A and B are shown apart, each in its own frame.
Chain A
Amino acid sequence: MAEDKFTAIIVGAGPAGSTAAYLLAEQGIDVLLIERGETPGCKNMFGGRMYSYALHRIIPEFWEEAPLERQISREVITMLDGEKSTSISCQDENWAKPPYHSFTLLRAEFDAWLAAKAEDAGAILACGIRVDDVIMEDNRIIGIRAGDDEILADVVIAADGANSIITEKAGLRSKLSPADLATGVKEVIELPAKTIEERFNLQPDTGAAHLYAGTCTQGMSGGGFLYTNKSSISLGLVIKAAELQKNQYMLVDLIEDFKNQPSIAPLISGGEVVEYSAHLVPEAGISMAPRLFSDGILVTGDAAGFCINLGYLVRGMDLAIASGEAAAMSVVEAVKKNDFSAASLGIYTDLLVKNGVWSVMEAYRRAPQMLDTERLYTSYPTLLNNLLADMFTIDGSPPINLIDKLRQEVKNSKTSFINLAGDAWKGGRSL
């Protein structure tokens, strides 16, 4: 290694970048991991839960050492409509046994831990450095520029997240479209662990994941989330950016109203807000993916659009880790051949197919269009809540049978059976 040249430079110490750095360092490859925050994680936020399988493959039984909050054993989805709400709750104790299905976590601690693992394995971690540009020579990427500094490498891995400047600078995609991403806002609300366990009916280590659709987004495409940490609640909203373009509500009012929904307020009552954060979420799936590789560069994690938001399920951490793994393995192969051209790095797509990332993205190819259906955020929550609330309301008037009630509710909500059937069919195929 020349003084100022690395085999690999990784931009961004999120889960994608740190995983790639860890695996490369483990293979004895010299790698520089650059992060703009003063510590890895201090610029990052997410909803709250990571599915375990991907990291378990790389660091077996990572839960023995990683800073985690609670293992999720209950999933709840709720349709909100003002004063009314309808929930489905699913509990599986197997989720709370090794190999734990998923964990809530907080990024400041978790990302710092994962980056430290990479450092321990031999990667050089440089924090507090913002990468401004890539260096190109004869159409190939040969390094990065940060302020006045230039650092060279055989290959650069862009792991700089949803709002990836590096992918743009490298010419791998044009400007992002507001139709392809959402903005997430979140509050961390501190409560004693015991209070959380009582309110959510949890064991000392188990946790709950709640996802919400309906009035919390004022009809905009998006939803709410609530995750239980050890002694705090992560609560927030994710709303499609294109909707925010025509929005007439301040996000701060939406999240504050969300907190005061009758089905949520008692869960967080008495808690203290200790942080407010915001971040973009890639939502368009495969259709927004940039070119994933070119001469001297690979794109991974959110920067590549490897994130799935289905409303009842959000996955980005596992896909970031798995795509970071594929990127690292591609570089290992390129090092063997001493060839960092696009042709050589193209093995990346094969490895993404092999380790499952690509099939996840393919499987949900149609989901973004499906989730654009406005009815999901307006008429359907109202319809469902009215139907069920009526069913449970006894006021002495003559009962109407369920089918008639459904007919009536569909008529009242500005939708039709044809829409309903069409959306159900689309939903079944795309989710």
Chain B
Amino acid sequence: MKKMNMQQLLACDKFEVDDEEHHIVLNKEVCRSCQAKPCIYACPAGLYTLKDGEINFDDAGCLECGTCRLICPQEGALSWHYPRGNFGVVYRYG
């Protein structure tokens, strides 16, 4: 089977996008002092990317797994919530 990339995989999923509220917000100031930046590899949706040495993040496409919340070593870097009720990923199989 041809290797799929992140965009292709996420395109299989259904999302109810919340235009008003972000459920995960980054404090980039804190991220700047984070050496390892493990979120880049650990996020299964690949939402943490490096741009000009700085972490770039958008919670659209988030699978709500909680991995980033778990592995982020910096206190106060992430304000992490589940999306508001009804919003976010909608698994049709699971």
Please report the C-alpha to C-alpha distance between residue A146 and residue B41 in the assembled complex, in whole angstroms: 33
Q: Which of the segments A195-203, A270-278, A309-317, A390-398 contacts the partner chain?
A: A270-278
Residues of B within 8 Å of A276, CB to CB, are: 9-10, 12-13, 63
Give A242-277 as 1s and 0s: 1 = Cβ < 8 Å from B's Cβ atoms. 101111111110001101100001001111011111
Q: How far is the CB of B78 from chain A (nearest CB, A)?
A: 12
Interface residues on B, range: 35 or more
CB neighbours of B69 from chain A (8 A): 163
The one of B41, B44, B73, B89 in contact with A43, judged by C-beta atoms closer than 8 angstroms, is B89
Q: Indicate whether A178 reaches chain B with its CB closer than 8 angstroms.
A: yes
Q: Once bound together, how far apart are the Cα atoms of A411 and B9, in whole Å?
A: 42
Take A244-B38, A247-B41 as given contacts and tell me if A165 and B82 are in contact as well, using a CB distance cutoff of 8 Å: yes
A130 touches B1 (CB 8 A): no
Across the interface, B82 reaches (CB within 8 A) one of A36, A46, A246, namely: A36
Most interface-central of A128, A130, A181 (chain B CB within 10 A): A130
B82 x A108 contact (CB < 8 A):
no
Taking the closest CB of chain A, its distance from the CB of B84, in whole angstroms, is 6
CA distance A244 to B42 in the complex (A): 5
Q: Chain B contact residues: over half helix, strand or loop, or mixed?
A: loop
Instruction: Please encode chain A, from 280 to 292, with 1 for each CB lying within 8 Å of some chain B CB and 0 for all others.
Output: 1000000000000
Let me know if B41 and A259 touch, CB within 8 A.
no
Is the CB of B71 closer than 8 A to any CB of chain A? yes
Q: Are B44 and A187 in contact (CB under 8 A)?
A: no
A307 at the interface (CB under 8 A from B): no
Docked-complex contact B65 and A273, CB < 8 angstroms: no
Q: Is the beta-carbon distance between B65 and A108 smaller than 8 angstroms?
A: no
* Cβ-based interface call for A402 (8 A): no
Measured CB to CB, the nearest residue on chain B to A126 is B85
**Contact B70–A176 (Cβ < 8 Å):** yes
Known: A244-B67, A278-B67. A251 touches B12 (CB 8 A): no
Once the chains are docked, how many angstroms separate the CA of A249 from the CA of B40?
A: 9
1/0 per residue, CB under 8 A from B, across A140-176: the answer is 0000001100000000000000110100000000001
Known contacts: A36-B85, A45-B91, A130-B82. The answer to whether A259 contacts B1 by CB under 8 A is yes
Instruction: Check if B41 sits within 8 Å of A178, measured CB to CB.
Output: no
Closest to B9 in A: A276
Evaluate contact between A130 and B84: CB separation under 8 angstroms.
yes
Determine whether A362 belongs to the interface, using a CB cutoff of 8 Å to chain B. Answer: no
> Which one of B1, B45, B67, B92 contacts A260 once the chains associate, using CB atoms below 8 Å?
B1
The minimal Cβ–Cβ distance linking B48 to chain A, given in whole angstroms, is 11
Which of B36, B42, B46 makes the CB contact (< 8 A) with A241?
A: B42
How far does the Cβ of B4 sit from chain A's closest Cβ, in whole Å?
6
Q: Is A389 an interface residue (CB 8 A)?
A: no
Q: Does B58 contact A (CB under 8 A)?
A: no
Assuming the contacts A275-B12, A278-B63, asked whether A251 and B41 have C-beta atoms less than 8 A apart, the reply is: yes
List chain A positions with a Cβ less than 8 A from chain B.
Answer: 36-38, 41-46, 106-108, 111, 127-130, 132, 146-147, 162-163, 165, 176, 178, 181, 183, 185, 187-188, 232, 241-242, 244-252, 256-257, 259-260, 265, 268-271, 273-280
A-B contact pairs, 27 of them (CB 8 A): A36-B85, A38-B85, A42-B89, A42-B94, A43-B91, A45-B94, A107-B91, A107-B93, A108-B93, A111-B94, A130-B81, A130-B82, A130-B83, A146-B85, A163-B65, A187-B9, A232-B93, A251-B43, A260-B1, A273-B8, A275-B92, A275-B93, A275-B94, A276-B10, A277-B63, A279-B65, A280-B70
Partner-A contacts on B (CB < 8 A): 1, 3-6, 8-10, 12-13, 16, 36, 38, 41-46, 63-67, 69-71, 73, 81-86, 88-94
